[in-house]
A and B are shown apart, each in its own frame.
Chain A
Amino acid sequence: DAGVIQSPRHEVTEMGQEVTLRCKPISGHDYLFWYRQTMMRGLELLIYFNNNVPIDDSGMPEDRFSAKMPNASFSTLKIQPSEPRDSAVYFCASSLVSDLWSYTFGSGTRLTVV
């Protein structure tokens, strides 16, 4: 398996633009997590899904952020409109219900909003 795949690896966008981050979890994994990493706040949980259903989105910063998981092999995190304070590294991770303590992380998307 190729692991958790995130795209793009880097994204530079102008303030006000829409940004879409993508994630392909490991095949067969039934949990998917979105985290955001910044120097100031460390690694923050944004939202997670179980069997494509959002379970907890309390970490989503505001209404500008939305996440979907239309099927078991794909998830998106969208920011509209983007702001400079959204600049961070966004990680996607997946796990099996039988092995919830071992997440597999993607390599992340480094987002810069100018």
Chain B
Amino acid sequence: AQSVAQPEDQVNVAEGNPLTVKCTYSVSGNPYLFWYVQYPNRGLQFLLKYITGDNLVKGSYGFEAEFNKSQTSFHLKKPSALVSDSALYFCAVRDIQAGTALIFGKGTTLSVSS
């Protein structure tokens, strides 16, 4: 069965500092990996995806994520955090062989202080 773990419920970082939101996954086959962001009282918005190719993928709003197959991780990163980045971030996985729907982690709240 496929699953996603986000080990931190909350990440706090000062504006201008780099940020990392962690994600590990478990699938039986090759994974498709995703990050979504949720702002208060809104639906989730797609940030970026890893399907194949370069292990470092770039997405919206300056975010990037690094796929590490040996560590089964897909951490979200940004070199310089903004207060407006404060939101709830979800990592998601799709097992190519298992099915179509995305399985989401529980989410990590990112809080960026000024």
Q: Which residues of A contact B (CB under 8 A)?
A: 4, 31, 33, 35, 41-43, 45, 48, 50, 55-56, 91, 93, 100-108
**Are B106 and A42 in contact (CB-based, < 8 A)?**
yes
Pairwise interchain contact B104-A107, C-beta atoms closer than 8 A: no
Q: Which of A43, A91, A103 has the most CB of B within 10 A?
A: A43
In angstroms, Cα B99 to Cα A50, docked, is: 12
Q: How far is the CB of B9 from chain A (nearest CB, A)?
A: 10
Complex contact B101–A33 (CB within 8 A): yes
Taken together as a complex, chains A and B put the C-alpha atoms of A44 and B19 apart, in Å, by: 26
Task: Give 11 CB contacts A-B under 8 Å.
Answer: A41-B106, A43-B44, A45-B103, A55-B99, A93-B43, A101-B46, A102-B46, A103-B44, A104-B43, A104-B46, A105-B43
User: Do A43 and B101 have beta carbons less than 8 Å apart?
Assistant: no
Judged by DSSP, the binding face of A is strand
Contacts of A43 in B (CB 8 A): 44, 90, 104, 106-107
Please state if A42 and B105 are interface contacts (CB–CB under 8 Å). Answer: yes
Report A-chain residues with C-beta under 8 Å of the C-beta of B41: 107
Mask of B65-108 contacts with A, CB within 8 angstroms, 1/0 = 00000000000000000000000001000100001111111110
Asked if residues B43 and A50 are in contact (CB atoms below 8 Å), the reply is: no
Q: Could you tell me if B101 and A56 are in contact, using CB atoms closer than 8 angstroms?
A: yes
Taking the complex as formed, is B25 at the interface, i.e. its CB lies under 8 A from any CB of chain A?
Answer: no
List 4 other contacts, CB 8 Å, given A45-B103, A93-B43, A105-B44: A55-B99, A93-B44, A102-B49, A103-B46
- Given A100-B94, A101-B34, A102-B49, answer yes or no on A91-B44 (Cβ-Cβ < 8 Å): yes
Q: Pick the contact of B101: A41, A45, A91, A105 (CB < 8 A).
A: A45
Contact A42 B107 (CB under 8 A): yes
- B28: A residues at CB distance < 8 A: none
Residue of B32, B51, B104 contacting most chain A CB atoms (<10 Å)? B104
CB-CB under 8 A from A102, the residues of chain B are 46, 49
Top 6 closest pairs, chain A to chain B, by CB: A105-B43, A42-B106, A43-B104, A105-B44, A101-B49, A102-B46
